């Protein structure tokens, strides 16, 4: 009897071990784990178990995993890849759905500093007294220097009627908190006009690339051509980017026939976008600065590389990468990961380096005249004379 029990227990234990080994083997195969990866996973679980059992205070396992995932993504050294905790991920989803309001400011991001570039008239930001040049130090008590740019934007945005508290740093004044009630912001992303006192010179500013930007640009371009525009100043300063599709649609209106941009993944897979513009382009100058990023750099790079325009201003931000957001299965958090890079028509990657202008032009903080625009106008006038009259 004892022998049969022993045999039964032995067989049961053996079955469990075999089943465990099959499970582990299946997991190893599913995750494509080699010996080195298995060794690293063993290090991870041993450390996790040591912390759980020996740390002086009790620790939530989920908190350890969150920290591990966040550290894993940070170890890539990529400023545009990030772990999105549930609260951050929820804010980003609300931002992308476009159903929430804001305060009406355009922000610039440089050296972990967030500055107000401009304040839209008639918005909560203007009513609160925010000024161009203000530094946004904290959003609802959280320091902006520790936040991704899109997280800063998503945190400032929110449901119309709710309040956000910004801690503002202003030259010559003590830091101060501004409690601002969000509202629905209706933003036109393109504005065009003829430059006063400069016959034939048109000016178009694009503040970002959203769903309606391409249509707005086409309308502005057609209107200025109807007013006799012979040369164009395209202002992409402080444009943080936006939709690639919108950028490409605009490029098709002003970039000569040929390649606009290439999107290249890790394995070499390439997606290319082309212009089929049949008519010639008019003399053009593009204004850029350190806050011109992503899609604005793509457009500036395409115009520059194809010889359609000269660049005036300061070196651009240098965001030439594509990110996707992967929700973590069964959870409310996600990982934002860089999966590809943009390349201009000449095959240049702008990631981390930006685009250098053909003509360097400063814009001092307290300038009474837009010297970058002035330099652009002078340059486009020269190009117009060289091109001769257009029919």
Instruction: Name the residues annotated as catalytic.
Output: 294, 305, 319
Q: The tokens of 25 are what?
A: 């083997």
What whole-number distance in Å separates Cα of residue 184 and Cα of residue 158? 9
- In the numeric block, the tokens 């257009």 are attached to 390
Across the chain, how many H-helices and E-strands are there? 10, 17
Q: 119: helix, coil or strand?
A: strand
Phi, psi at residue 45, to the nearest 5°?
A: -70, -35
Size of the chain, expressed as the number of residues it contains: 391
Q: Is 338 exposed, middle or buried (0-12, 13-18, 19+ CB in 10 A)?
A: middle
Nearest Cα neighbor of 165 from 146, 181, 184, 178 is: 178
Q: Cα 268–274–278 angle (5° rounding)?
A: 160
What whole-number distance in Å separates Cα of residue 80 and Cα of residue 181? 29
What whole-number distance in Å separates Cα of residue 252 and Cα of residue 278? 10
């Amino acid at each position: 009897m004892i022998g049969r029990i022993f045999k039964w227990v032995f067989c049961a234990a053996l079955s469990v071990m075999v089943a465990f080994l099959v499970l582990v083997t299946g997991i190893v195969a599913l995750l494509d784990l080699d010996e080195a990866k298995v060794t690293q996973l063993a290090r991870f679980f041993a450390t996790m178990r040591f912390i759980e059992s020996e740390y002086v205070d009790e620790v939530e396992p989920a908190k350890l995993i969150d920290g591990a995932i966040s550290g894993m993504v940070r170890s890539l050294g990529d400023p545009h890849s990030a772990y999105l905790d549930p609260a951050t991920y929820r804010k980003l989803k609300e931002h992308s759905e476009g159903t929430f309001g804001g305060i009406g400011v355009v922000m610039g991001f440089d050296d972990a500093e967030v500055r107000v570039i401009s304040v839209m008239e008639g918005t909560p930001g203007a009513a609160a007294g925010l000024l161009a040049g203000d530094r946004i130090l904290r959003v609802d008590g959280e320091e902006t220097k520790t936040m991704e740019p899109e997280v800063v934007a998503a945190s400032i945005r929110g449901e119309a009627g709710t309040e956000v508290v910004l801690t503002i740093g202003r030259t010559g004044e003590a830091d101060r908190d501004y409690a601002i009630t969000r509202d629905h912001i209706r933003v036109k992303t393109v504005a065009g006009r003829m430059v006063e006192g400069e016959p034939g010179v048109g000016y178009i500013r694009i503040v970002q690339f959203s769903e309606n930007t391409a249509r707005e640009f086409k309308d502005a371009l057609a209107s200025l051509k109807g007013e006799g525009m012979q040369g164009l100043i395209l202002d992409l300063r402080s444009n943080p980017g936006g939709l690639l599709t919108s950028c490409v649609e605009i490029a098709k209106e002003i970039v000569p026939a040929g390649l606009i941009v290439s999107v290249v993944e890790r394995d070499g897979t390439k997606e290319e976008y082309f212009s089929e513009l049949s008519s010639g382009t008019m003399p053009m100058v593009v204004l850029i600065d350190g806050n011109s990023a992503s899609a604005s750099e793509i457009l500036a790079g395409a115009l520059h590389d194809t010889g359609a325009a000269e660049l005036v201003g300061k070196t651009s931000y240098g965001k030439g990468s594509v990110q996707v957001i992967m929700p973590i299965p069964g959870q409310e958090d996600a990982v934002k990961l860089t999966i590809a890079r943009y390349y201009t028509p000449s095959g240049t990657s702008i990631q981390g380096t930006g685009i250098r202008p053909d003509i360097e032009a400063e814009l001092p903080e307290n300038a009474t005249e837009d010297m970058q625009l002035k330099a652009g106008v002078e340059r486009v006038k020269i190009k117009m004379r060289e091109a001769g009259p257009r029919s």
